């Protein structure tokens, strides 16, 4: 699954960082916290690695 916006890609990156133990889970908020709880590390990695070049800032 690829990110559909820059905001979604950044949230996935934050959730992935927590999933890997690089940041605290308690520091997550909003979408990144939901992603942490509902997605696997592989899914988060795929979404976080999406190029942001042609993505909108936020999904409509």
Please answer whether residues 57 and 6 qualify as being in contact, where contact means their C-beta atoms are separated by less than 8 angstroms: yes
In the predicted structure, residue 8 carries a pLDDT above the cut 90? yes
Q: What percent of the chain is modeled with pLDDT above 70? A: 100
Q: What is the DSSP string of 1-60?
A: ---SSHHHHHHHHHHHHHHTTSS-GGG--HHHHHHHHHS-HHHHHHHHTS--TT--SS--
User: Region 30-35: what's the mean pLDDT?
Assistant: 96
Query: How do residues 37-53 score in pLDDT, each as one tens digit?
Result: 999 999 999 999 999 99
């Amino acid at each position: 699954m690829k990110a559909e916006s820059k905001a979604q890609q950044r949230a996935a990156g934050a959730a992935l960082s927590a999933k890997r133990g690089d940041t605290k889970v308690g520091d997550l908020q909003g979408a990144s916290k939901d992603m942490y709880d509902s997605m696997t590390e592989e899914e988060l990695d795929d979404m976080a690695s999406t190029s942001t070049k042609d993505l909108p800032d936020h999904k409509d």
